[in-house]
Amino acid sequence: MKMLNKIDYLLHLADNALIIGHRCSEWCGHGPVLEQDIAISNIALDYIGQARNLYQYAAELINSKNDPLLGFVLPATEDSLAYLRDTTDYKNHLLLELPNGDWAVTTLRLFLFSSYQYFLYSELIKNEDAQLSAIAEKSLKEVTYHVRWSGDWVIRLGDGTDESKNKIEKAIDYLWSYTGELFSGTEQSIELNWNKKVESIFNEATLMMPAKTWMQEGGLNGIHTEHLGFILAEMQHLQRAYPNSEW
């Protein structure tokens, strides 16, 4: 994996938040019960808020360079970065663009990703870049809730009925090979802490930690699954049909 410069890294973080936020928003009106429908819709809003903060900062840096050779529409805005880039320009993890599947897949993915975010943002708070540190600090408050909410669901499904346990085990089999990419270029402590957290919740849920396996990768370098193209076609339609629309 190539190392990301500051702008690319901000876009990576923003793209992660935007794509998982979009996936969570797809549950709006479709949650298993009203309370959980509202909960996951609010989580989606949290992620869109994170994406906005990160895109705004990335746009500020891009505009300060004022160099069309960077490959961005100038002047860059949060909207142009979210809606006017091509599939290969996105740097989100592959895990986040996979289809929602059933409730087990959605809540497990959210748990795996938000647990990673928790430890990542805990480190980014210490970053020498004051603006990135402030974004991480604000986001960490939201992510702490995401971890607790999704972790509770993993436990409920794993330690529930035979059917719910079967569904969460299938979700683990489906998602696990996409988790290795989360730790590309991160400090080793983040992966170690993530493994401890996941193992703790899995133990409480009476679930087995998967054996080491080959891991999917490519998202950080713009190599994506076919699913991202469909997400962007839906998300970008309004902006491309009505240019200069704003959030």
Asked if 114 and 41 count as a contact pair (C-beta separation under 8 A), the reply is: no
Residues in the chain: 247
Question: Is 1 a domain residue?
Answer: no
- Domain assignment present for 229: yes
Tell me the CATH number at 91. 1.20.1260.10
Tens of pLDDT, residue by residue, the chain (247 residues)? 344 699 999 999 999 999 999 999 998 888 778 778 899 999 999 999 999 999 999 999 999 988 887 888 889 999 999 999 999 999 999 999 999 999 999 999 999 999 999 999 999 999 999 999 999 999 999 999 999 999 999 999 999 999 999 999 999 999 999 999 999 988 899 999 999 999 999 999 999 999 988 999 999 999 999 999 999 999 888 888 888 776 6
Provide the number of structural domains found in the chain: 1
User: What's this model's pTM, rounded to 2 decimal places?
Assistant: 0.93
Give the pLDDT confidence score for residue 70 in this predicted structure.
81
* Structural domain includes residue 247: no
What is the reported pLDDT for 220? 92
CB 141 within 8 A of CB 224: no
102 found inside a domain: yes
Domain that holds residue 177: 6-209+217-241
Structure tokens at 221: 């370098």
Is the torsion defined by CA of 211, 212, 216, 220 positive or negative? positive
Question: Would you say residue 246 lies in a domain?
Answer: no
